[in-house]
Structure 1
Amino acid sequence: MRISQILDKVDSGDIALPEFQRGYVWTRDQVRGFFQSLYRGYPIGGFLTWTTKADSTQARGGGAGRDGTVHLLLDGQQRVTTLYGVTHGRPPRFFEGNSATLTGLHFHLETEVFEFYAPAKMRDNPLWVDVTSLLRNGIGGHLLSLTQLADGDTGAMAAYMERLNRITQIKDRDVHIDEVTGDDKTIDVVVEIFNRVNSGGTKLSKGDLALAAVCASWPEARPTMNEALAAWSDAGFDFKLDWLLRNVNAVVTGEAQFSKLADVEVTAFQAGLKETIDSVGYLLNALGGRLGLDHRRVLSGRGAFPVMSRLLHRHGGRFPDALTRDRLFYWYVHSFLWGRHTGATETALNQDLQALDEGGVDLLIEVLRRSRGGRLEVSPDDFVGSSMGSRFYPLLYMLTRVHGAQDLESGLPLRAGMLGRLNSLQVHHIFPKARLREYGYSSAEINAVANFCFLTQDTNLRVGARKPAEYLPEITMRAPGALESQWIPMVPELWRIENYPDFLAARRELLSCAANDFLETLHDGPAPVDLFTTSRTSLPSTAVAVAEPSSLDDVPGLAGLLRDIREAEFAAPELDSEVTDPRTGDAITVAAAYWPHGLQDEVGGPVVLVTDTTSAEQEALEASDYRVFHSADALRRYVRNIRADHAVP
């Protein structure tokens, strides 16, 4: 099929570009490189469509054909969007991204290169031709300027004409389209087909395809979901479309598989989405009020939300009583501590949804307990992990909040909404990093969770890089009980740098006891805190702003790498993020920077920057198909190579 025919079908609705969770992500470098390939006649690959039922003619970017179907473009979204945007001078209806990426492309008649408009060198220069104008209006409008440029040189005139013709003929180029059709082509089957075809690029998820099918019948689904995601982001929480869709699926169908949404009527999905958005807001308030988990870094266990949303659905959108709420939160904390929903998501989630529907929270806890060999208990060794990416970092923050841990300078309980310029919370290394480095401790030892506590900014500045043996005795005099409230061992001998490993061991023991005591309190009885007056739809008005150290402080060259990433318009990474085995959910390591969906869509798989790994960790990362880099400089070179590949075909 010719490219012009494909673009016409996009206009008429015969081909719809599905509402995947990823919008248009190509950069100007990729647009230039793509048109350079088209101009030179290089292969650009084929396209893949999925023919599925459409219940209305209002599909976003498309509509139902004569047989009641819509053709969703699975492979080629970025290429078709680029062709449409540059050819028409405007993005298509389904567009979501930076429209400037598609406008202003120019072609130089002599060097035969494509560049985006730069006034200083292109204004009033007839050698630079506007590609969109050429594709829309043809060569006719350029004949006069070409004649003037050639100045009687028939050879030059012929060369100019031939070059412009090659551009206009791009629309006549034939491309191959494979079509996936048939009643047996379920979401699972289509995802497998796509991922086999697109094995070198970012894999399509089942959520991507399910959302595409939903939006074919209700085009406002994606904007409505994005509006909710933006509101939660403003309140300090970042969620993805896939995650929200998973919650809706659990509420509406009671199951985890996205394929179950195929049988859900549009009106039922609309009602379920509204209910889910209300429930998530209600849960965020409850988790902030009861557990103190009030911002994005400490809100772990997001995979457990569909189960909690389902529970609220079964009880009219509210907790039936305080005991149910606390036992659900007991299950929730343990579920994220042990990575219950980070591996084979649908398997564990289906087990939990079934347990909830059949036996309520008690059976839910029992299923989790059985999966842990009958043990739900935090041990001192569980706090051995390091950095803010550890699953036990949110637990430390939670304990700080629920136990009213005291600031080491003022002795005041650390709480949300503390007023004053220097009263925002900060993560504090009890043993300062600089002092530990002097003694040769590794980065993992320095950033051990058991070396963290939370202080106000003012106290953190006062303590600075002083040795614990110097400043901790002063605190015992100035704020009695403050050290104990932060689970700092009250043995002065342990405050010496040379005894740092023994200090960590002693503090891990204290933290594990505090964690088990609080979790048992959640399990055994209702808390005195009553959250039932909380609005179902409101969000936390004030989240604790916690200034957290990151790998930017410790990984040489990381700041420069992130600048290159931004300039390349690639995805921003998760910093200090736990990387798990996608098959089992087991934690492998904590990465300095992590791109779970690749540096950019259609540019490869997940990327991990981790400076130190054991041989077992390296083997596990490679077995899980992570592309691993051990220095910021190595990853920076990889980024530059990608940019060069897209700039010059």
Structure 2
Amino acid sequence: MRISQILDKVDSGDIALPEFQRGYVWTRDQVREFFQSLYRGYPIGGFLTWSTKAETTQTRGNGAARDGAIHLLLDGQQRVTTLYGVTHGRPPRFFEGNPATLTGLHFNLDTEAFEFYAPAKMKDNPVWVDVSSLLQQGLAGHFQQVTELTQGDGRLYGPYIERLNRITQIKERDIHIDEVTGQDKTIDVVVEIFNKVNSGGTKLSKGDLALAAICASWPEARPTMNAALSTWSDAGFDFKLDWLLRNVNAVLTGEAQFSKLADVDVPTFQKGLTETIDSIAHLLNALGGRLGLDHGKVLSGRGAFPVMSRLLHDHGGRFPDAMTRDRLFHWYVHSFLWGRHTGATETALNQDLQALEDGGVDQLTDLLRRSRGGRLEVRPDDFVGAGMGSRFYPLLYMLTRVHRAQDLGSGVPLRDGMLGRLSSLQVHHIFPKARLREYGYNRTEINAVANFCFLTQDTNLRVGARNPADYLAEITQRVPDALESQWIPVDPRLWRVENYLDFLAARRELLSYAANDFLDTLHDGPSPVDLMAATRTGLPPTTVAVAEPAGDDVPGLASLLTEVAKAGFAAPELDSEVIDPRTGAAITVAAAYWPQGLQEEVGAPVVLVLDPTAKEQGALEASDYRVFHSADALRQYVRNMRAQHFEQ
């Protein structure tokens, strides 16, 4: 099929440029080199489309509506977007990227080079031809420019016209298009086909394709979802499009697979999306109010949200009563503590959604309890995890909030939205990192969750790196009961650095008792400890639990994280437990952890573990983790992935 026909079909809606999550990723250099290849007649590869049904499809370009099938462009999105943008002089509709990447391309009649507009050398210089103008007007619109440039010199006129004609003929070039079609070509099948065909490039996720199919029938789906994500981000919660789509899928179909959305018509999806957005906002309010989980750093268990969204949907978007709310939150906390939705996400979600359908929250809890050998209990050793990526870090924060733990300096109960200078909450190492390093403790021991507590910024600055044997003794005199409110052992012998491991063991005992007591209260019914006396409107204010600079004690990690962000890859969890997806048990603590891969939802999980034991290394490899032992080794992997990230 000729390129001109492909672009016409984009405008007519026969071919749609799918709204994949990554958007447009090419640079100006890639656009320039692509047109240089087209001009010279080099191979540029074929395209792959997926034929799927569309309901009154609003197409790009002229916005005409059509019924029937539509061809979603799977392989070739960047190339067709580039051709469309340069040919039309503007990006296609719903373009996500820098429009300047596609506008201003010029061609030098003398050197036959493509460059983007630079006023200093191109303004009023007829040797430079606007490529978009040439492709739109054809040769006829540029005869006068060439005539004035050559001033009757036939030796130049002929070659110049021939060069311009080669550019106009780009639109007549034939491109081979493979089509995936048939009722058996579900989202799961098409994603598998695409990722095999495109093995060297960016992978496609099931969520990408499901959203592309929805946008083919309702182009405003993606902007509507992005608006909700932006609202939550402003409130301190960063979610992904795939995650929101999974919630909508569960609400509308009661199942986890994205392929189920193929049977959902546009009006039903629109209504379901609105209900889901409202339900998630209600859940965030309730979780912030009842459990104190009021910002993204402590909101674990996001994989459980589709189940909770479905429950709210079944009850008109609200909890039917406080008992149901509390028992659901009891299940939710235990689900993330035991890694319920790690690994095979769709399998666990389908089991949970079916349990919810069959017997409500009680059956959900029974299913989770059976998967845990009949017991849902937090034990002291569970708090052995380290870092803010540990599953038990959010639990510590939750206990701090629901029990109104006191600030060690002022004795004021810690809560969200505290007013005043230096009153925001911060993470505090009870035993300072510097003193523990001097004594020879390792990173995992230093960053143990049981060594964390929460303080106001003012108190944190006052305590600083003081010896706990000194400042904890002062607190017991100045602020009685403050240590007990934060489950800090009051035996002075445990405040000595040489007894640090004994201190951790004692505090883990106290924390596990407090955790079980509160979780049992949730299961048994509402208690006086209920932060949410009345449902709040809007989203909860954000409390920022400030971390220390990322990678401060891992050589090269801070610069690696900057490089990862610039490459457009996912942000990792730092100092995080790595979970065995088969059992939900913690394997080790990683300096950096990408549980969904560098490109979320489609890559192998990646972990940076500095000194794993042989047992830990074996468990990581058996769980199909991509393991790196230094920031430099991981950096090379990132660069290799980035080189493959763009279509060739």
Q: 1:585 to 1:155 in 2, by over 3 A?
A: farther
Structure 2: how far apart are the matches of 1:386 and 1:191? Answer: 37
Query: 1:351 offset after TM fit, Å?
Result: 0.9
Pick closer, same or farther for the CA change 1:141–1:470 going to 2, 3 Å.
farther
- Asked if 1:502 corresponds to 2:497, the answer is no
The 5-angstrom pairing of residues 354-369 of structure 1 reads 354-369=354-369
Q: How does 1:2-81 map to 2 (within 5 A)?
A: 2-59=2-59, 68-81=68-81
Deviations 1:272-295 (A, max 9, x none): 221111111111110000100000
Aligned to 2:381: 381
Offset of residue 416 of structure 1: 0.8
Q: Secondary structure at the match of 1:453?
A: strand
Q: Which runs of 5+ in 2 are unaligned?
A: none
Task: Find the counterpart in structure 1 of residue 464 from structure 2.
Answer: 464
Shift of 1:24: 2.2
Q: Percent identity?
A: 79
Pairing of 1:204-223 with structure 2 (within 5 A): 204-223=204-223
Opposite residue 50 of structure 2, the aligned amino acid is W
Amino acid paired to 1:352 = D
CA separation of 1:32 and 1:527: change in aligned 2, threshold 3 A: farther
Cα distance change, pair 318–600 in 1 and its aligned pair in 2 (3 A): closer
User: Does the residue aligned with 1:48 lie in a helix, a strand or coil?
Assistant: strand
Asked if 1:574 is matched to 2:572, the reply is yes
Deviations 1:1-55 (A, max 9, x none): 2222211110111101223333223333443443344445444332111111112
Alpha-carbon distance in structure 2 between the residues aligned to 1:43 and 1:6: 17
Q: 1:148 to 1:220 in 2, by over 3 A?
A: closer
Q: Secondary structure at the match of 2:56?
A: coil
Structure 2 residue 256 is the aligned partner of structure 1 residue 256: yes
> Which residue is equivalent to 1:426?
426
Number of the residue aligned with 1:331: 331
Deviation, structure 1 residue 365: 0.2
Give the conservation status (yes or no) of the 8 Å contact 2:299–2:394.
yes
Q: Does 1:489 align with 2:489?
A: yes
Higher relative contact order (CA 8 A, sep 6+): 1
Shift of the 172–410 alpha-carbon distance from structure 1 to 2, 3 Å rule, reads: same
Opposite residue 247 of structure 2, the aligned amino acid is N
In the alignment, the residues of structure 2 paired with residue 119 and residue 578 of structure 1 have an alpha-carbon distance, to the nearest angstrom, of 54
Partner residue, 1:304: 304
Contact 2:488 2:507 survives alignment (8 Å): yes
2:346 is the alignment partner of 1:346: yes
Stretch of structure 1 that moved more, 203-212 or 8-17? 203-212
In the alignment, what sits opposite 1:277? 277
Task: Give the aligned partner of residue 514 of structure 1.
Answer: 514
**Alpha carbons 2:237, 2:295 under 8 Å: kept:** yes
Give the Cα–Cα distance (whole angstroms) in 1 for the partners of residues 647 and 49 of structure 2: 29
1:603–1:278 CA distance, 2 compared to 1 (3 A)? closer
- Cα distance in 2 for residues equivalent to 1:299 and 1:181: 41
Q: What's the CA shift for 1:305?
A: 0.8
Q: Which moved more, 1:501-510 or 1:153-162?
A: 153-162
Deviations 1:224-273 (A, max 9, x none): 22221111111111111211121112122212222222222322222222
How far the C-alpha of 1:451 sits from its partner, in A, is 1.4
- Over 3 Å counting, the alpha-carbon distance change for 1:160 and 1:377 in structure 2 is farther
Which letter maps to 2:490? Answer: M
Deviations 1:529-561 (A, max 9, x none): 3747425x6222x12122112424233344444
Structure 1 residue 335: deviation in Å? 0.4
Deviations along 1:184-214, one digit per CA (max 9) or x if unpaired, are 2222222222222222333322222222222
Q: Which moved more, 1:104-113 or 1:278-287?
A: 104-113
Q: CA RMSD in A?
A: 3.4
Distance 2:642 2:113 in 1: 16
Number of the residue aligned with 1:548: 547
For residues 229-244 of structure 1, the aligned pairs below 5 Å read 229-244=229-244
Tell me the distance in 2 between the aligned counterparts of 1:620 and 1:175. Answer: 47
Structure 1 residue 347, shift from structure 2 partner = 1.1
Q: Secondary structure at the match of 2:55?
A: coil
Task: Report the more deviating stretch, 374-383 or 191-200.
Answer: 191-200
Kept in 2, the 8 Å contact 1:322–1:527? The answer is: no
Segment of structure 1 superposing worse, 94-103 or 465-474: 94-103
SS of equivalent residue, structure 1 residue 389: coil
Q: Distance in 2 between matches of 1:396 and 1:366?
A: 25
Q: Does 1:409 align with 2:417?
A: no
Cα distance, 1:283–1:11 mapped onto 2, change above 3 Å: same
Residue 106 and residue 594 in structure 1: after superposition, are their counterparts in 2 closer, same or farther (change >3 A)?
farther
- Describe the superposition over 1:424-446 as per-residue Cα deviations: whole angstroms up to 9, x where unpaired: 01111112122222223322222
1:68 aligned counterpart, secondary structure: strand
**Deviation larger for 385-394 or 636-645:** 636-645
1:341-376 Cα offsets, whole Å, 9 max, x none, are 122111111111111111111111000001111121
Name the SS for the 2:74 alignment partner.
strand
Mean Cα deviation higher: 444-453 or 144-153: 144-153
8 A contact 1:16–1:62 mirrored in 2: no
Please give the alpha-carbon distance, in whole angstroms, between the structure 2 residues aligned to 1:65 and 1:625.
46
Aligned letter for 1:76?
G
8 Å Cα contact 1:61/1:94 also seen in 2: no
| Aligned residue in 2 for 1:294 | 294
Is the deviation greater in 157-166 or in 503-512?
A: 157-166
Distance 2:570 2:383 in 1: 28
| Aligned residue in 1 for 2:535 | 534
**Distance change in 2, residues 1:381/1:606 (3 Å):** closer
Alpha-carbon shift at residue 618 of structure 1 (Å): 4.9
5+ long unaligned stretches in structure 1: none
Contact 2:202 2:646 in 1 (8 A): no
SS of equivalent to 1:553: coil
Structure 2 contact 427–453 (Cα < 8 Å) conserved: yes
Moved more, 99-108 or 611-620: 611-620
Shift of 1:458: 0.7
> Does 317-326 or 286-295 show the bigger shift?
317-326
Residue type of the alignment partner of 1:271: K
* CA–CA distance in structure 2, aligned partners of residues 118 and 306 of structure 1: 51
Moved more, 251-260 or 325-334: 251-260
Matched, 1:99 2:99: yes
Q: Tell whether the 8 Å contact from 1:62 to 1:216 is kept in structure 2 after alignment.
A: no
Aligned pair in 2 of structure 1 residues 322, 598: CA closer, same or farther (>3 Å)? closer
Q: 2:298 is paired with a residue of what secondary structure?
A: coil
Report the Cα distance in structure 2 between the residues aligned to 1:200 and 1:627, rounded to whole angstroms. 18
Question: Is residue 344–residue 585 contact of structure 1 (8 Å, CA) maintained in 2?
Answer: no
Question: 2:75 corresponds to which letter in structure 1?
Answer: D
Q: Deviations over 1:487-519 (max 9, x none)?
A: 122222222222222222222222112111111
For the structure 1 residues 371 and 89, does the alpha-carbon distance in structure 2 shift closer, same or farther, using more than 3 Å as the test? same
Per the alignment, do residues 205 and 589 of structure 1 end up closer, same or farther by CA in structure 2, a change over 3 Å counting?
farther
* Alignment map for 1:154-169 (pairs within 5 Å): 164-169=164-169
- SS of the equivalent of 2:225 reads helix
What is the distance in 2 between the residues matched to 1:322 and 1:603?
39
Kept after mapping to 2: 8 A contact 1:580/1:588: yes
CA contact (8 A) 1:210 1:259 kept: yes
SS class of match (2:73): strand
CA distance in 2, matches of 1:640, 1:158: 46
Aligned positions, number:
646
**Aligned residue type for 1:217:** S
CA distance in 2, matches of 1:163, 1:608: 52
Given that 1:322 and 1:530 are in contact with CA atoms closer than 8 Å, whether structure 2 keeps it comes out as no
In the alignment, the residues of structure 2 paired with residue 582 and residue 246 of structure 1 have an alpha-carbon distance, to the nearest angstrom, of 20
CA distance in 2, matches of 1:602, 1:33: 31
For residues 469-492 of structure 1, the C-alpha deviation after alignment (integer angstroms, 9 at most, x for no partner) is 222211111111111211122222
